[in-house]
Amino acid sequence: MTNAKSTVEIEVCPPQNRRMVFRPLGPDRRVRGRIDFSNLKGDRFAALREKWEEPIPGQVIGINVETGEGYIREPLRDEEHRELAREIEQQPFRLPPERQAFPNANVANWVHWMRRAVEAGTARIVGGGKLPDPAKCPGQVEQHFAVLPPEASQKEDSQRQLADAISAMAAAIDRLTESQAAQSRTLATLVQKGQG
């Protein structure tokens, strides 16, 4: 964490040990949540509860509201979790880097979605105090639910134009095929009349 006054951090900790999609990073980017094997009931999880008595901390999403640098921090790279990280890396798992930076982040958007995660119980604030009001942060909140963002809309328009062009080409081929078939029938009729 950098300047405590300008940086806010949340730990991803959704119920049922899940990952979270953080919308500012796109629909395919999932952030690992806190894993607490004591929450898993049933005999089939007994070995996991025994092996991993302490929860595995979730990744941390942070934003410096002054500089606009967003980041995902891997707490398993911290000194306090070094032994746990070693145990995890002995399994067929590979830990991400200590910190992945996202310079020039849309601060309002990051703060908005961080706040939504906290309010939904999918994350908790772990550094920097209270999340600021997104309306008072630089940038704009992006909520593309019913309307596609301009880039996606343009891509969709291009795809639609390509599909329309292919459909028009297929219709032209059908007309040409029908025309050739009609000409062949006419020619066959003329040949038959000429032989008769």
Which pLDDT score is estimated for 151? 58
Q: What is the DSSP letter of 91?
A: T
Rounded CA gap, 95 and 22, in Å? 19
Which residues contact residue 144 at a Cβ distance below 8 angstroms, ignoring those fewer than 6 apart? 152
Lowest mean pLDDT among 78-82, 88-92, 109-113: 88-92
User: Per-residue pLDDT tens for 140-166?
Assistant: 998 764 445 555 555 556 666 666 666
Is the pLDDT at 3 greater than 60? The verdict is no
Rounded CA gap, 66 and 85, in Å? 32
Section 21-48 average pLDDT? 85
**How many degrees, rounded to 5, is the angle at CA 149 between CA 102 and CA 6?**
30
AA identity, residue 78: D
Q: How far is CA 84 from CA 36, 48, 54, 89, in A?
A: 13, 14, 9, 9
Query: What's the chain's Rg over C-alpha atoms?
Result: 29
- Torsion sign across C-alpha atoms 86, 15, 118, 101: positive
Token pair for 139: 């940038």
Section 171-178 average pLDDT? 70
Which pLDDT score is estimated for 171? 65
Which pLDDT score is estimated for 69? 96
Which pLDDT score is estimated for 167? 64
Say whether pTM exceeds 0.85: no
Token pair for 71: 């980041």
Which residue, 18, 28, 26, 22, is CA-closest to 10? 22
How do the domains of the chain map onto residue ranges? 7-136, 145-196
Which pLDDT score is estimated for 42? 80
User: Per-residue pLDDT tens for 54-69?
Assistant: 888 999 999 999 999 9
Does an H or E element contain 72, and which?
Answer: strand 70-73
Q: Pick the more confident residue, 78 or 93.
A: 78
